[in-house]
Each structure stands twice: as structure tokens, then as C-alpha cells.
Amino acid sequence: MPPFPLPLTDLLGHYGSYIIYLIIGFSFGYVLEIAGFGNSKKLAAQFYFKDMTVLKVMFSAIVVAMVLIFAASAMGLLDYNLIWVNPTYLWPGIIGGLIMGVGFIVGGFCPGTSLVAAATAKLDGIFFVFGVIFGIFLFGETVGSFDQFFNSSYMGRFTLPELFGLPTGVVVVGVVAMALFMFWGAEKLEGIYGDKDAPAAPKWRYAAAATLFAGAIIVLFIGQPTTEDRWAGVADEKIAALEAREVQIHPGELLDLLHNRSLIVNMIDVREESDYNLFHILDAKNVPLDEVPDMVPALHFEPANAVFVMMSNDEGAATEAWKTLVAESVPNVYILEGGINNWLTTFADEDMQAQRLATAPGNDTLIYAFDAALGARYTVAEPDPHQYELEFIPKVKLETKRAPTSGGCG
């Protein structure tokens, strides 16, 4: 699978990549301007059903991008996990949308189109931009009084396929069909309220609509890659790393990571709940192996300095979990070398070492006996790093986060 997103900085250099950003930004603004989005009268006419250009242009952009993204994903050209999808905060999003909608109607611009208008020296656009800046300042000064609501009803990366429980291809076809119906309805409304002559519209729009719908059908039939498909694309490289022991970190290195304040260490314990309840490392989170794929969207929202350490009794189940996260493009994923058994062997005191069973490691079973299920309340669950002088080869190399960490609306 190609290394998406493209490493522009590596290819073009620091300042060279800025040229690409400038071209993209200029092109975006140019498209908005030629579409008439720098004219507040044209934008406001949307809400009176006289001119539905806003709906047509924006929905065209949305559905074309959707079809191309999922077609590229289906063909293995693009990793959808690395594309920013705004997290859903349901009720704050609804209230914010209503506020923005009212501002759009009253002012005639949204934030992006106001910048286009300001760039072409339109006075109403310039005043609107000043209003946006003042609104940002006002929000920053008052958000502390309602931050609990502002961060409420968090649903993470929640998309339509998840909402409806349908395959991505079905949703793509449905959204395209809905958009085409809305385009037809928009023309009817323009004819009624805007005295526009539908037959005068360019005929090529029918061919464009047919092409778009055909693309959606192709996405439906090809389908989206599964975790197994994604793993197959990286298996040769990653199996080599496994066999070279490049991703299995010594318990001593994990202990050092846990006390490194510049890192966020996420320990994911994929053992059975019964073993986890007997003993686990302090702050390790128990996630059954079959539930690991469900964690992927949330893990992509972790900061760039996050490290994920998979662990099981030995390495068997942890390795399978590692493969899942690596296939889904989660960065900085490692395996606890020897698992919990090796952690106990490294840090347990003499009394606990006496509880070691005769069972040989290798079948991913716990080889220590515990008199009670105390979880992380054993001393060995939180060793003091100053009491140990361990020799190991550091394996963790913090990978620059490949997925974007923020997004926005034009």
C-alpha cells in the first residue's frame, strides 16, 4: 500500500511543501469565487430557494470526494484510517450548527466564504471576517463557563455506516442517490422561486450525474478492504520486523517508558478477564482480543507521543493484537517481550518467584499462581525503577504520527 498521506516535506523540503499548500489554498479560494461564493447576495439567495448554487457546489464536492476516497480505498491506493474525520460531539454540534446557520443567513457568509470575499476586497466580507475574529475571541474568553457541555455527547469518529449498520458501499450509493435527488429538487425550487429556466442549464450535468452514480456502484461492488486485506499489504515488512525482534520490548524498557513524562503509554492487556483480574500491570487496560479492532478509531485520535504496548501471558495473543493495529495503521505499537510472565520473572520478589509453576512458557498461559485476584494491587504491578539495573536494547522509536490530528471546514 502506498505511503499515504504523501510525505511532502521529505519529497520537497520544508519550504517546498509550503508551495503545494499555497497552490491548494489558492485553488480552493478560486473555485469558491468563480462559483459565486464571494457574493453574499448569491449565498443568501440559497435560503430563499431563489439560487441553489451553494447546495449544488457543496454537495457536488462532498459526493465526488466521497466516491473518489472510497474508490481509492477499495483499490488499496489510499488508507482511509489516515484521513481526518471530525469527531462527533452530538449536542454541541447541533447547537453550533444552528448558531452558524443563523449567522450564515444574517451575514450572508460562512467563515470560508467570508475570507474569499475579503480577499477580493468586498466590504461586507471584510466586516464579516472581523466579526469571525471577534467571535473567536469571545468564545475563547467564555468557553470555560460551558466547557462541560462543549465536550459532552462525544461519539468519536462516528460515520454513517456505523450509524445505520450498513456496508460503506451501500451508504455511498445512498448518499449519491440522495444528492442527485436534491439537485433535481433544487432545480425545481429555482424554477418556482427564482424564475430560472431549467432547460437552459447545461446538458452535460446528466452525464456527470450518471458517471457519479456509476462510480458509487463500483464502490459498492468492490467493497472496502478488511483488516486481513490490510495486513496482507504490509505482512512481508512487518513479519520481518517480528522475526528480527524489533517490536518486542523488554519489561525494563516498558518500565522506563512508564516513567517518561514526554510519552503517553497505553498498555493494552488482551488476556482473558480471569487472568487480568488475577494480576495486571498498573494502568493496563483489559481489552479482549476480539474487541481490539473496535479500538482502532479511538487510537488514531491519540496524540503523536502515544505509544501502545500489547501484552498477553506470553506473546501469542499480544502478537495477534499487534498485527491488527499495525494493519489498521496505528503508529508506535509494540509487544511486551515475554508478556506478563516475563514481567513477573523480571520484577517479582522471592516469595512470588516461589509461586512460579512448572508450566513452560510458550502456550500463552499464566505460569505464576496467585492466592487472590488482586489485579494491580501487588507490588510487582508498579515496580520502583530505581531498584533495578537492567540491561536491554531499546526498541521504541517514536514514529511521527501519520494521520492528521485536526481538521476543519472551508
The whole-angstrom separation of Cα 282 and Cα 11 is 43
Q: Write out residues in the chain with pLDDT < 70, as ranges.
A: 1-7, 197-200, 358-362, 400-410
**Residue 406: what pLDDT?**
58
Report the DSSP pairing between strands 154-156 and 88-89. antiparallel
Q: Is 26 exposed, middle or buried (0-12, 13-18, 19+ CB in 10 A)?
A: exposed
Q: What is the pLDDT of residues 256-274, one digit of tens each?
A: 999 999 999 999 999 999 9
On whether the CB atoms of residues 79 and 329 are closer than 8 A, the answer is: yes
pLDDT tens per residue across span 17-76: 889 889 998 998 998 888 888 899 888 888 888 888 888 888 999 999 999 999 999 998
Q: Which residues lie closer than 8 Å to 335 by C-beta, 6 or more apart?
A: 247, 248, 249, 309, 310, 311, 315, 318, 319, 322
- Report how far residue 58's alpha carbon sits from residue 62's, in angstroms, rounded to the nearest whole number: 6
With residue 308 as reference, give the H or E element that holds it: strand 306-311
**CA 161/CA 226 separation, integer angstroms:** 15
Q: Do residues 81 and 296 lie in contact, with contact meaning Cβ atoms separated by under 8 Å? A: yes
Q: Give the residue from 11, 83, 212 showing the smallest Cα distance to 20.
A: 11
C-alpha cell recorded at residue 113 = 466564504
Q: Is 76 left (phi over 0), alpha (psi -120 to 50) or beta?
A: left
d(CA 16, CA 377): 54
Cα-Cα-Cα-Cα dihedral sign, residues 7, 226, 235, 362: positive
Contacts for 132 with CB less than 8 Å, ≥ 6 apart: 111, 114
Output the pLDDT for position 202. 80
**DSSP code at position 75:** T
The structural domains of the chain, with segments of one domain joined by +, span 8-226, 228-387
Cell of 259: 516513567
Q: Which residues of 292-326 are buried (b: 16+ CB within 10 A; e: fewer)?
A: beebbbebbebeeebbbbbbbbbbbbbbebbbbbb
pLDDT at 195: 76
Which stretch of DSSP H or E encloses residue 249?
Answer: strand 248-249
The string over 219-244, giving b where at least 16 C-beta atoms fall within 10 Å of a residue's C-beta and e elsewhere, is bbeeeebeeeebbeeeeeebeeebee
Q: What is the pLDDT of residue 2?
A: 46
Confidence (pLDDT) at 410: 46
Give the burial class of 21: count Cβ atoms within 10 A of its Cβ; 0-12 exposed, 13-18 middle, 19 or more buried.
exposed
Helix (H/G/I), strand (E/B), else coil: 244: coil
CATH class of 228-387: alpha beta
